[in-house]
Amino acid sequence: MAKPFLSVERLTQKFPDGAGGALTVFENATFGVEKGEFVCILGHSGCGKSTIMNVLAGLAEPTTGGVIMDGTEVSGPSLDRGVVFQNYSLLPWLSALKNVTFGVRARYQDWSKTKVEKHAKEFLAMVGLEGDVVYRKPSQLSGGMRQRVSIARAFANHPKLLLLDEPFGALDALTRGTIQEELLKIWGKTEQTVFMITHDIDEAILLADRILLMTNGPFARVAESVEITIPRPRNRTEIVEHPNYYAIRNHLVQFLGQHSKDLAGQENSGENNAPETVRIDMTQEAPEEEDASPHLRAVND
Ligand SMILES: Nc1ncnc2c1ncn2[C@@H]1O[C@H](COP(=O)(O)OP(=O)(O)OP(=O)(O)O)[C@@H](O)[C@H]1O
Ligand SMILES: [Mg+2]
């Protein structure tokens, strides 16, 4: 079978445990992401999600294992991979606009200054930042606005892979909802591949094509790949009406509440460590339910 666009192969990360020994955070974590896919990863605090993301970004090296993206082994950071961190990480001395043009200029060195600015402004507008606000420095922006700038900056560079580490963790629910929808819109337009860490189950169901579930550490691994069988376009208010929504949600809650613990601490040989695919689709069972419904309608006036 052909390799997926992003192939994470038997990643193992050990750190010193502070007491002279070694802590194996995750072992033989293996999964793939297809081109254009939006994949979220869920797992308890400390299971190693950010560490995996740092390896994907090329900012850290795993103890063993490797990552292949588009046929090439990932080693060191690259403009092909854009990262959005939880703490915004904008350059504080530059305006919102210059934070975006900075990367675009590095990426497209033959573009004129006007073209770079026009491009950056388009991406800022996609996340709702237009007019004078783009000339403000990060300290003059709200937390939600800063996060919008980070997202615009990452997408504007057209990276082959976009890595988001809990990008909305620090935002209030209303702002979070708005930016989630902006993220979906911008992703829909650019067809980029996105890998995102979140702690929020509802956010993951809204955004993802697939959710990867990690067991608790030590010796964590990616145990399941849950398909989100809810058609797009999705929006926050309508998605909960879909027959698959609560079935998927309950499965995720069960995993995080129970299975992630039951599976924790087991050493993995790594021979067949790809996650189990889980597909929940209640819409397939709908006709049978309809057959049964005349019983319920038997009483009328
Ligand atoms: N540089 C390091 N040196 C030693 N231990 C580390 C280092 N980086 C991470 N760890 C340990 O590795 C484990 C996984 O950390 P990581 O930040 O990847 O977790 P996470 O899944 O992202 O958690 P959270 O959901 O809280 O962000 C933790 O036990 C952490 O203490
Ligand atoms: Mg983390």
Amino acid (1-letter code) at residue 104: V
Residue 299: per-residue pLDDT:
45
Ligand 1 pocket test, pick from 15, 27, 195 with the greatest ligand atom count within 8 Å of Cβ, gives 15
Res. 295: pLDDT tops 60: no
pLDDT band at 288 (very low <50, low <70, confident <90, very high): low
- Which has more confidence, 244 or 265? 244
Nearest listed ligand to the Cα of residue 25: 1
- The per-residue pLDDT for range 183-195, each reduced to its tens digit, is 898 898 888 999 9
Q: How many CA atoms lie within 13 A of 40 on its CB side?
A: 21
State how far the Cα of 161 lies from the Cα of 168, in Å rounded to an integer. 19
149 CA distance to ligand 2 middle (Å)? 21
Residue closest via CA to ligand 1's atom 13 equals 46
Q: For the chain, which domains are there? A: 6-80+159-296 (3.40.50.300)
- The per-residue pLDDT for range 211-254, each reduced to its tens digit, is 999 999 889 999 999 999 999 999 989 999 999 999 999 999 99
Mean pLDDT value across residues 111-125: 96
Residue 261: per-residue pLDDT:
83
Bond prior to 233 in cis (omega within 30° of 0): yes
Res. 40: pLDDT tops 90: yes
Range ranked top by mean pLDDT from 189-193, 243-247, 271-275, 291-295: 243-247
State how far the Cα of 91 lies from the Cα of 164, in Å rounded to an integer. 18
% of the chain with per-residue pLDDT over 90: 69
pTM for the full predicted model: 0.90
pLDDT band at 294 (very low <50, low <70, confident <90, very high): very low
Mean pLDDT of the chain: 89
Mean pLDDT value across residues 64-71: 95
Residue 12: how many CB atoms within 10 A of its CB?
A: 18
Residue closest via CA to ligand 1's atom 17 equals 50
On the 0-12 / 13-18 / 19+ scale of CB atoms within 10 A, 228 is buried
Please list every protein residue whose CB sits less than 6 Å from any atom of ligand 1: 15, 25, 43, 45-51
pLDDT band at 109 (very low <50, low <70, confident <90, very high): very high
Mean pLDDT value across residues 60-67: 95
